[in-house]
């Protein structure tokens, strides 16, 4: 199933925007009205991964999902960028589009970016929702696992995504996920751009954000799938132990892409957390 950008945005009546941050063009989509909520997608992905949240959470919040540099409709980042440069770009983009003190929700790679944003610009996020994420791969995974993930990911970028994307599904969705969801995830992965994805993989592989965890002083929700095989619960528990006052919510029977596989439960957890603030 091909999930086109235009059809997703047309059906959901979302507002598209493009701005320049230095030499990088950043694209985003916004839905709803209310307190600002910014969504940061994972690797091998773009803002289309959030279409259910733009619809569901857009009933309570002004929800904006960006395309990270190198993804979707945004231009590529320089190859030497790592998480600090992505975080500086994110902060500059938020200022450019007039979003101030937003709730920041990052999933997987996007959660690592949210942590780096807090490290470098602690006055920007009003709260953090870290879903299925890490303190960077280097900060949460054994060195051997980091090396294996990076070598696999970078190596596969030499081939067409149609040849390997489906091989990641067991780590992203559970076996109970409908075929249509799997097809949608693969379709988005197949639209990736190798250069942009390569830079993102190196950035997350090298990132170790454990030192920033005890310095986080905004309300923080950790949201994980019970059956997540890419960022398992021991990763979540380490983050909870490191972030003062953080709350961990585990969604039963769901994997890494909890926002896709169980959007109602995912949205309900986010909504309850943010409303309580």
Residue pair 105/40 in contact by the 8 Å Cβ criterion: yes
Q: 266 with 253: CB under 8 angstroms?
A: no
Distance CA(91)–CA(109), nearest Å, equals: 16
Written as six digits, the tokens of 190 are 């197949």
User: How much is the pTM?
Assistant: 0.95
Number of H helices, E strands in the chain: 12, 8
Domains and CATH numbers, the chain: 5-276 (3.40.50.1820)
pLDDT tens for each residue of the chain, 277 residues long: 344 444 454 445 789 999 999 999 999 999 999 999 999 999 999 999 999 999 999 999 999 999 999 999 999 999 999 999 999 999 999 999 999 999 999 999 999 999 999 999 999 999 999 999 999 999 999 999 999 999 999 999 999 999 999 999 999 999 999 999 999 999 999 999 999 999 999 999 999 999 999 999 999 999 999 999 999 999 999 999 999 999 999 999 999 999 999 999 999 999 999 999 9
pLDDT digits (tens, 9 = 90+) for 46-68: 999 999 999 999 999 999 999 99
């Amino acid at each position: 199933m091909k999930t086109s950008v235009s059809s997703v945005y047309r059906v959901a009546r979302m507002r598209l925007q493009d701005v320049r941050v230095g030499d990088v063009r950043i694209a985003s989509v916004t839905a709803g009205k209310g307190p600002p909520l910014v969504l940061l997608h994972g690797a091998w992905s773009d803002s289309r991964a959030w279409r259910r949240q733009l619809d569901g959470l857009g009933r309570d919040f002004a929800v904006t999902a960006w395309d990270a540099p190198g993804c979707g409709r945004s231009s590529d980042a320089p190859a030497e960028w790592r998480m600090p440069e992505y975080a500086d770009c994110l902060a500059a983009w938020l200022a450019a589009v007039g979003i101030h003190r937003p709730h920041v929700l990052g999933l997987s790679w996007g959660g690592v970016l949210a942590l780096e944003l807090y490290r470098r610009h602690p006055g920007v996020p009003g709260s953090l929702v870290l879903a299925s994420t890490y303190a960077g791969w280097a900060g949460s995974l054994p060195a051997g696992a980091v090396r294996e993930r990076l070598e696999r990911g970078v190596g596969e970028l030499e081939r067409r995504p149609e040849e390997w994307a489906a091989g990641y599904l067991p780590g992203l969705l559970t076996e109970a996920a409908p075929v249509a969801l799997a097809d949608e995830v693969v379709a988005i992965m197949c639209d990736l751009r190798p250069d942009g994805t390569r830079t993102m993989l190196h950035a997350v592989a090298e990132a170790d954000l454990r030192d920033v965890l005890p310095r986080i002083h905004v309300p923080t929700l950790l949201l994980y799938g019970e059956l997540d095989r890419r960022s398992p619960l021991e990763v979540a528990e380490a983050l909870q132990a490191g972030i003062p006052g953080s709350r961990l919510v585990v969604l039963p029977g769901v994997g890494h892409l909890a926002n896709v596989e169980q959007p109602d439960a995912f949205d309900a957890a986010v909504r309850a957390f943010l409303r309580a603030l």
